[in-house]
Amino acid sequence: MIIKLLKQPQAVIGFLFITCLLVFSFYWPSMLDVNKTEALKLQDFLYDDDGRIIDAPPYSPSQVPPLGSDMFGKHIFYQVIDGAKYTILIALGIALFRILFSVGITLINPKSSFSFLNDIVQATLYIPTAILTFIFMNSLIVKQSMEPMSTIKLIVLQCLILIGVGVPPLISTFSSEIKAILNKDYITNSFALGSKKVYVYYKHVLPELSTKLVLLFAQQVVQTLILMAHLGVLAIFIGGSAIVVLGDIFTPMPVAIPLAGEWAGIIGMNFAKIKAAPWAILTPLSFFAVLIFALNLIIQGIQNCLETNKS
């Protein structure tokens, strides 16, 4: 499978881009020779060479190159680069656990049709996943405001919600796939000869599913990234938020500041300033688009491998 994927140039390009972005996100202070604390600090005002105030945030890309600042004067470029690792790792982790839970639950009772899950999937088919997730996430945040919990616990619970909304459709998919594999003659013969379930699953079922698993994993990463972007616009941030009041005493403007640095939080935080500082939203959105494009290249490569296997 890996050797076949290496022969797909689009998959290699997509994988290299994501790997390079991830590595750069961890080591950008040393690679760019900048101080991370200084690069990500708030900047109340912009001063000229004589120390006079010339402007207040948000700063345009021409004032604060290369990509301008947000409403707090923080460099958008450094924020996006630093947040790449959180965005990518959270999406990868959620997609991985969706696949693991779905396959595990299906293998516990592979002969079940999971008709109740199919009914749930059909019933929720026309409800946008972002709205469904928003309802659960908002309830969690309300609970967190009344009974404060640690950031780590909140992130874990939010990730469990994101995992949970993706599991039923995957179980529905895997149940038909696994049943078709188990109905094959050599699998039936293996059971007739006394093979244990664990052995058959490990030796026959999972290898046959491997390519499909990789394909679905990549698709789940894309779906998770899109869902996170939607939640960011709805002001639901992974890891919670703190409220900061901007403006003056006559026109106070409360703004939710995400505590984690992932891209959806940057989008949601700056959404209220979309007209004044469009670069603060367009930059993380562009990175989202390029990352999803890279994942789609990998998916296309995997699909090419699947078609090669069929032919």
Mean pLDDT over the full length of the chain: 86
Contacts 24+ apart (CB under 8 A), 21-27: 21/84, 21/88, 21/291, 22/84, 22/85, 22/88, 22/89, 24/81, 24/84, 25/81, 25/82, 25/83, 25/84, 25/85, 25/88, 26/85
The predicted model gives 289-307 an average pLDDT of: 90
Contacts 24+ apart (CB under 8 A), 203-208: 205/107, 205/178, 205/181, 206/103, 208/181
- The pLDDT tens digits for 33-83 are 999 888 888 777 888 777 788 888 888 898 888 898 888 888 999 999 999
pLDDT for the residue 118: 67
Contact 73, 139 (CB under 8 A): no
Q: List beta partners, residue 55.
A: 46
Structure tokens belonging to residue 200: 């058959």
Which comes out higher in pLDDT, residue 118 or 289?
Answer: 289
- Does residue 311 carry a pLDDT above 80? no
pLDDT for the residue 1: 66
The predicted model gives 83-89 an average pLDDT of: 94
- Does residue 254 carry a pLDDT above 70? yes
pLDDT for the residue 87: 94
By CB atoms closer than 10 A (0-12, 13-18, 19+), residue 139 is exposed
The residues spanned by each domain of the chain are 1-308
CA distance 259 to 101: 28
- Does residue 3 carry a pLDDT above 80? no
Instruction: Grade residue 310 by pLDDT with cuts at 50, 70 and 90.
Output: low
pLDDT for the residue 247: 67
- State which of 76-90, 165-179, 227-241 shows the largest mean pLDDT: 76-90
- The pLDDT tens digits for 119-159 are 766 666 667 888 889 999 989 888 888 888 888 899 999 99
pLDDT for the residue 125: 65
- CATH assignment of 1-308? 1.10.3720
Separation of CA 186 from chain center? 39
All residues at 6 or more sequence positions from 61 whose CB lies less than 8 Å from its CB, including other chains: 67, 68, 279
All residues at 6 or more sequence positions from 94 whose CB lies less than 8 Å from its CB, including other chains: 159, 162, 163, 166, 220, 224
The predicted model gives 89-115 an average pLDDT of: 86
CA distance 159 to 166: 11
- The pLDDT tens digits for 184-211 are 888 888 888 888 888 888 888 888 888 8
